[in-house]
Amino acid sequence: DTAVSQTPKYLVTQMGNDKSIKCEQNLGHDTMYWYKQDSKKFLKIMFSYNNKELIINETVPNRFSPKSPDKAHLNLHINSLELGDSAVYFCASSQVLGTGGGYTFGSGTRLTVV
């Protein structure tokens, strides 16, 4: 059973399009995240949700909109895609702060904007 699963694994699209990436976790974790890994492998948090509530929203263009229908799902919708959005997007989940757990990452979605 995959703990944190993302779809699609690869996404190639043209500039200006709108696309979504889906994430689901079956670990019973309360918190989910989106991280962006750029071409230099640098990882930066974008969003965090706890029990469907947005708790972290870093400096991300408002073309990016996360949606959490329930605590097991966190989707990422991107409008008007730009070349600079090309990256690998990782979903992750964790237990509530302070319980000693780490973060479990999904396998990533490689987004290429052409």
Partner 1 sequence: AQSVSQHNHHVILSEAASLELGCNYSYGGTVNLFWYVQYPGQHLQLLLKYFSGDPLVKGIKGFEAEFIKSKFSFNLRKPSVQWSDTAEYFCAVKEADKLIFGTGTRLQVFP
Residues that bind partner 1 (CB under 8 A): 31, 33, 35, 40-45, 48, 50, 55-56, 90, 94, 97, 100, 102-108
Minimum distance, C-beta of residue 67 to partner 1, in the bound complex (Å)? 19
Q: For partner 1, give the closer residue by CB, 15 or 43.
A: 43
Q: For partner 1, give the closer residue by CB, 65 or 108.
A: 108
92: closest CA among 42, 53, 46, 52?
A: 46
Minimum distance, C-beta of residue 44 to partner 1, in the bound complex (Å)? 7
Minimum distance, C-beta of residue 39 to partner 1, in the bound complex (Å)? 12
Q: For partner 1, give the closer residue by CB, 69 or 102.
A: 102
Is 2:66 a contact under the CB 8 Å cutoff?
no
Q: Buried b / exposed e across 36-72, counting CB within 10 Å, b at 16+? A: beeeeeeeeebbbbbeeeeeeeeebeeebebebeebb
Give the separation between CA 54 and CA 5, rounded to whole angstroms. Answer: 20
How is residue 2 annotated by DSSP?
Answer: -
Q: For partner 1, give the closer residue by CB, 86 or 107.
A: 107
